[in-house]
Amino acid sequence: MRVIGPMVITTAAALKTAGESALSAGASVIDLSGVTDADSAAVAVLLAWTRGAQERRQTLAIVESPESIRSLATLYGVAELLPLA
């Protein structure tokens, strides 16, 4: 799955649903190279996807994450919980 556009509070619910659908269909890689903007909602969505993959016992890799998302995850103390590749 590739995310294109903003990962912000106004898009979080739709992104969470899309990611859950992709995981259910067997996706194992989430590409964030198309993310144009991010706020704390992005971290929440990534945590939800990670939790969903763990519940399904799926391997998940989050690739090409923008520095803004990495910085937020570090700031909130959750970077080590995310499978950022």
pLDDT digits (tens, 9 = 90+) for 11-54: 999 999 999 999 999 999 999 999 999 999 999 999 999 999 99
| Domain locations in the chain as residue ranges | 2-81
- Check if CATH label 3.30.750.24 holds for domain 2-81: yes
Exposure class string for 13-35: b at 16+ Cβ within 10 A, else e: eebbeebbebbeeeeeebebeeb
pLDDT value, residue 85: 85
pTM for the model: 0.95
Query: Is 35 within 8 Å of 7 (Cβ atoms)?
Result: yes
As a whole number, mean pLDDT of residues 50-66 equals: 96
